[in-house]
Amino acid sequence: MADILKNDAAAQLWETDRRHALHPWTNFGAFEQKGALVISRGEGCYLWDANGARYLDAVGGLWCTNIGLGRQEMADAISQQVMRLAYSNTMVDMTNDPAAQLAGKLAELAPGDLNRVHFTTGGSTAVDSAFRMVQYYQSALGHPEKIHVIARDYSYHGSTYASQSVGKRPGDRIDEFRYLSDTIHHISPPNCYRRPDGAPLGDEAAFCDWLVAEFEAKIAEIGADRVGGFFAEPIQASGGVIMPPKGYLHRMWQVCQRHGILFIADEVVTAFGRLGHWFSAADVFDVQPDMICTAKGLSSGYVPIGAVIFSDRIWDVMAADGSRWFTSGFTYAGHPVACAASLKNIEIMERENLNARVRDVGAYFEQSLSQLEALPLVGQVRGMKLMMCVENVADKVTGRMLPEGLDVGKRISDISESLGLMVRPLGHLNVMSPPLTISRDQIDFVTETLERAIRRVTDDLTREHVRLG
């Protein structure tokens, strides 16, 4: 890419990466031609590339740089732990100081009786572990057939074999890979803007009724005595920031309770301040989950870590009579450096009262971005607090989509990037999840820059004779 090869060092890094690295979600042809943008430095809400160009990172790394980059006290906590104890395993009857402390802190912060913690290496392995724990719990309870799980279309739950099978974003399902299907089932996403065929239009409450009825029907189809768990992101993040209708999650939880189905809240994105709370399932959506999967904001991306936080009730069943073994885990689970980083991250969030700050500045972010709905290309701006999405369409009235080949979201993100702003393209969508420390002035920059980019793309599409409106 000519625009990123302004010095020999940048060119060498770009070429080395292009020749040797396989990136997640890579299109081979595009990568061979364009390579990757080399990021060299970060501070607060900003990133710098290898040429020194600065970008406001409205993506927040990947939904994860919650407290912002370049925190000296995070570096100090990490380095001190490395010198004190860089590694100790947590298998069987071993632990370490930070792991024990973090487990206690997560139990304190989590809602209800979610007092037990199983550490993992990230969000994917947290969901993978939760999937296995559903099977373990139901079998220990005396229901060995109750191991089927239900999730939603357009969900993203990770990239291990099991977690990617639980998720079902269209772009993630390709013919070259295989996916588990014998015990994993999917129902419609609660997308009020793009409702599934057969769903009622107009009234949101009627749509909610339809979604709950579909869930009940799926349980009946599989057999309530065979369904063990339901996986749900409170807001479906990578599926396009899908906002559920009012009361939807609470009612789905009630259905789970009636049928003895575990409710697993995938809060890899929505926890640790993204919506202004430690966890959102209970505080925002009135759900007391049986398990919470978390990662990303747990350490604000400083060090990889994940966790399944689960209820005393599940522990009591699995541990009954003390004869069973739990034969699942990871070499780096409860890694002392990752746990020390997470403890410091939580300390910073508490001291700076970032949850309350998000509830304030997040409302401003919602209000600011909503102005973009006046643009001809924008069908809807949706989301909550610092988790937002702009849906671009060919026709605002009908919601008619642009041809997929136009890649309108990428066009907008490319122009935004040239103007010093990073937003995430997802097909015809542009998604934002900036650090919780973002200021109102920076939010204004996001909105103004994104508007410029959308207007430029609209003009380009008009010149290309794309039918709009």
Distance CA 289, CA 380 (A): 30
Per-residue pLDDT at 292 exceeds 90 = yes
Tens digit of each residue's pLDDT (9 = 90 or more) over 218-240 = 999 999 999 999 999 999 999 99
Per-residue model confidence (pLDDT) at position 107: 98
pLDDT in tens, 374-432: 999 999 999 999 999 999 999 999 999 999 999 999 999 999 999 999 999 999 999 99
The whole-number pLDDT of residue 171 equals 87
Cα distances (angstroms) measured from residue 362 to each of 69, 84, 357, 435:
19, 38, 8, 11
Name the more confident of 464 and 4.
Answer: 464
pLDDT, tens only, 158-183: 999 999 999 999 889 999 999 999 99
Structure confidence at residue 1 as a pLDDT band (50, 70, 90): very low
Determine the pLDDT at residue 469.
87
pLDDT band at residue 7 using 50, 70 and 90 as cut-offs: confident
* Domains (range + CATH), the chain: 37-67+354-463 (3.90.1150.10), 73-351 (3.40.640.10)
Nearest to 330 by CA among 180, 158, 118, 81: 118
pLDDT tens-digit readout, 326-352: 999 999 999 999 999 999 999 999 999
Quick one: tokens of 352?
A: 């700076």
pLDDT at 453 > cutoff 50: yes
Residue found by looking up tokens 């925190």 in the block? 71
* Averaged pLDDT of the chain: 97
Q: Please, which residues have CB within 8 angstroms of residue 95's CB and are 6 or more apart in sequence?
A: 88, 334
State yes or no: pLDDT of 2 exceeds 70. no
Cα–Cα distance for residue pair 386/270, rounded to 1 Å: 10
CB-based burial label for 153 (10 Å; 0-12, 13-18, 19+): middle
Local confidence band at 6 (pLDDT 50, 70, 90 cut-offs): low
What distance in Å separates the CA atoms of residue 98 and residue 189, rounded to the nearest whole number?
Answer: 38
Give percent above pLDDT 90 in the chain: 97
